[in-house]
């Protein structure tokens, strides 16, 4: 999409009565924006890749615990699928890290924590390399601009929506750690199963927080929002426009 086509879509979206809820992911070389049906990746080199999100069985969307795992799997689709936004070597690396994150639970207790911290640091280094921190802030700004109907203003720089987001994966990560620790103490189950159950329960908590307007529920997001001060940086206007190009690509197909 060129600048004219992008702006045309953003103008339509600002005037739309209803827009889909969007999510996203920052990469060192661009920004991924996703809706329930579509995804787009806008690169810092001006490239744009588009795709469709995999469908999920309608009957499973209401099954507690399972629905959260399905939602998480679908969200990762653009980076794990063969024709997604990462190459074969990165997909293999991700597969090894994810497998290792479950296998190290079989280690002796004295090694389990060290292995977990090591895998976490490797993953964090992979996620936050390059321009990822700035583009992470740009991703949040673009999504907030959708919610505020300030897409055109964000594109021309007259508005600067927040770079912090309540639905960021950083918030989920801040929630899953205490749930996993408590689960490991309370559930007499194999450690790998505890990890999977902890993720599923955290997703249920996540969905409940998203659907609540009570201030007490929003308090659960404070650790993640504080952590975003480390995982995001203030984006430049050019970086914001990269995220908005991906946003416009998804919205163009949603509005069609």
Contacts of 236 by beta carbon, 8 Å cutoff, 6+ apart: 134
**Which is nearest to 30 in space by CA: 39, 20, 22?**
39
Reduced to 3 states, what is the DSSP secondary structure of residue 48? strand
pLDDT tens per residue across span 152-165: 999 999 999 999 98
> Does residue 41 surpass a pLDDT of 80?
yes
In the block, which residue shows the tokens 């408590």?
182
Residues 44, 130 contacting (CB under 8 angstroms): no
Name the residue with higher pLDDT: 180 or 200.
200
Contacts of 13 by beta carbon, 8 Å cutoff, 6+ apart: 19, 146, 149, 151, 248, 251, 255
Residue 122: pLDDT band (50, 70, 90) is low
pLDDT of residue 161: 96
Mean pLDDT of 137-163: 95
Q: Residue 165, Cβ neighbours under 10 Å: how many?
A: 25
pLDDT of residue 169: 78
Mean pLDDT of 58-65: 76
> Does residue 114 surpass a pLDDT of 70?
no
pTM confidence score = 0.80
Contacts of 49 by beta carbon, 8 Å cutoff, 6+ apart: 40, 41, 43, 85
Mean pLDDT of 68-83: 74
Domain borders along the chain are 1-85+131-161+236-256, 164-231
> Does residue 119 surpass a pLDDT of 70?
no
SS3 content of the chain, % helix, strand, coil (to 5): 65, 10, 25
pLDDT of residue 186: 77
Choose the most confident range, by mean pLDDT, from 57-66, 140-149, 228-237.
Answer: 140-149
Residue 111: pLDDT band (50, 70, 90) is low
pLDDT of residue 125: 66
pLDDT tens per residue across span 203-247: 888 777 776 677 777 787 788 788 888 889 999 999 999 999 999
Q: What is the largest CA-CA distance in the chain?
A: 59
């Amino acid at each position: 999409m060129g600048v004219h086509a992008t702006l045309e879509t953003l103008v339509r979206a600002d005037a739309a009565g209803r827009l889909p809820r969007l999510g996203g992911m920052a990469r060192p070389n661009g920004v991924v924006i996703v809706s329930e049906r579509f995804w787009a990746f806008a690169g810092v080199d001006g490239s744009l890749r588009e795709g469709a999100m995999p469908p999920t069985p309608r009957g499973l969307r209401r099954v507690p615990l399972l629905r959260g795992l399905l939602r998480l799997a679908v969200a990762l689709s653009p980076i794990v699928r063969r024709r997604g936004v990462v190459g074969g070597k990165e997909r293999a690396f991700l597969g090894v890290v994810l497998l290792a994150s479950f296998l190290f639970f079989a280690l002796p207790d004295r090694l389990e924590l060290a292995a977990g911290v090591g895998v976490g640091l490797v993953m964090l280094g992979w996620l936050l390399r390059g321009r990822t921190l700035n583009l992470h802030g740009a991703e949040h700004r673009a999504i907030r601009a959708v919610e505020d109907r300030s897409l055109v203003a964000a594109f021309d720089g007259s508005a600067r929506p927040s770079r912090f987001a309540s639905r960021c994966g950083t918030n989920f990560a801040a929630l899953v750690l205490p749930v996993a620790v408590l689960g490991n103490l309370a559930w007499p189950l194999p450690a790998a199963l505890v990890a999977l159950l902890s993720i599923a329960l955290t997703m249920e908590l996540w969905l409940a927080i998203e659907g609540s307007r009570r201030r007490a529920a929003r308090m659960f997001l404070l650790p993640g929002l504080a952590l975003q001060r480390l995982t995001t940086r203030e984006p430049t206007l050019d970086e914001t426009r990269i995220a908005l190009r991906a946003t416009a690509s998804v919205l163009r197909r949603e509005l069609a």
